[in-house]
Amino acid sequence: MKTIHHVLNPDTRAKIADCVCALAVMTKAPRAGQVKTRLVPPLTHDEAAEFNSSLLRDVSAAILTASCSSGVVRPSRISDARGAPRQTTGRIARGVGVYTPRGAEAAYGDILPEDFFLIPQRGDHFGDRLIFAAEDLFKVGFASVCLINSDSPTVPAETFTQAADLLRLPGDRIVLGPCDDGGYYLIGFKKLHREIFERIDWSTEHVLDQTLQRAADIGAEVKLLPAGYDVDDRATLERLCSELLGENASRNCGIAPNTQKFLAEIVSREGRGRIWPV
């Protein structure tokens, strides 16, 4: 039976505990012909939609692992009044699917974990969608927000935990997960800085540098996470195949299992040359 996720209403404050970070993955409903079209070929449109679902399953599973610390006593980098490190218990984050289009909620029933919230995207342009997503997540009650792409399935849960932890520290800051192509797979903040999303050449190699410049312009501290990469063209698909199916794949045991299974089935059925040339 498919999960029915709770859809957050930006006009109504939700029951969210103090200091919880939204680990929010930006997602488009995985419909054939509407997602991962730059991977057609070598994939078919139906395969591209299935591939998109596999990526999202792996990213959301890593987010769930990062967010589910309820009941676990964990060291905190937050100090008490005497300056001593404080230990905290409970959830540090919550997974959210920021989805489009409206009406596609059922598409995520067997993709996103049951624990996830959903919230619809707003805005016509990518930068606006990021701004409105952050705005809506703060309005429903999250203390901090990380906006995450759904195209980087090899980013480990520990990285998402690190992002949430950095946003629990005193003082304002921006957290960025840089991508090899000059963009980023994650951006996090404790309050919305609209300037971070303005005058950005989206979908180019300049995104990260321009974002860092916007942060410098407003005097915001920036913390960088380990680098990752997006899977959005043939070159990065081949890189992913090498990482998940290549001779060193055993070292990456447990990383992106759904995506690995999807790719392995194509290679087994049709040979590696179909998606992963020798």
What pLDDT, on the 0 to 100 scale, is given for residue 249?
72
Indicate the pLDDT class of residue 128, thresholds 50, 70 and 90.
very high
**pLDDT digits 0-9 by tens, 42-84:** 999 999 999 999 999 999 999 999 988 533 434 444 443 444 4
What percent of the chain is modeled with pLDDT above 90?
84
User: Hey, what amino acid is at 217?
Assistant: D
SS (H, E, C) 157-175: HHHHHHHHHHCCCCCCCEE
Half-sphere exposure of 267 (CA within 13 A, CB side): 18
Indicate the pLDDT class of residue 164, thresholds 50, 70 and 90.
very high
pTM of this structure? 0.91
Query: Strand, coil or helix: what is 144?
Result: strand
Q: Which of 113, 149, 114 is nearest to 129 (CA)?
A: 149
Q: Which of 275, 215, 225 is nearest to 245 (CA)?
A: 275
CA distance 4 to 97: 13
Give φ, ψ of 86 to 5 degrees.
-105, 145
**pLDDT digits 0-9 by tens, 24-41:** 999 999 999 999 999 999
Q: Which of 247, 25, 67 is nearest to 151 (CA)?
A: 25
* Residue 106 structure tokens: 């059922």
What pLDDT, on the 0 to 100 scale, is given for residue 263?
97
| Environment class of 12 (CB within 10 Å of its CB; exposed 0-12, middle 13-18, buried 19+) | exposed
Q: Which of 20, 251, 265, 59 is nearest to 144 (CA)?
A: 20
What percent of the chain is modeled with pLDDT above 70?
90
What pLDDT, on the 0 to 100 scale, is given for residue 1?
67
What pLDDT, on the 0 to 100 scale, is given for residue 278?
83
Q: Which of 241, 223, 120, 245 is nearest to 172 (CA)?
A: 223
Q: Which of 117, 120, 115, 125 is nearest to 136 (CA)?
A: 120
CA distance 173 to 278: 44
CA distance 268 to 117: 36
What pLDDT, on the 0 to 100 scale, is given for residue 252?
64
Q: Which of 108, 23, 110 is nearest to 69 (CA)?
A: 23
Indicate the pLDDT class of residue 85, thresholds 50, 70 and 90.
very low
Cα dihedral sign, 246-248-250-254: negative
What pLDDT, on the 0 to 100 scale, is given for residue 83?
47
pLDDT at 238 over 90: yes
Indicate the pLDDT class of residue 12, thresholds 50, 70 and 90.
very high
CA distance 59 to 64: 9
- The mean predicted confidence, pLDDT, of the chain is 91
What pLDDT, on the 0 to 100 scale, is given for residue 31?
96
What pLDDT, on the 0 to 100 scale, is given for residue 187?
98
What pLDDT, on the 0 to 100 scale, is given for residue 76?
42
Indicate the pLDDT class of residue 87, thresholds 50, 70 and 90.
very low
What pLDDT, on the 0 to 100 scale, is given for residue 247?
83
What pLDDT, on the 0 to 100 scale, is given for residue 265?
97
Going from the N-terminus, what domains does the chain have, and what CATH number goes with each?
14-77+84-266 (3.90.550.10)
What pLDDT, on the 0 to 100 scale, is given for residue 17?
84
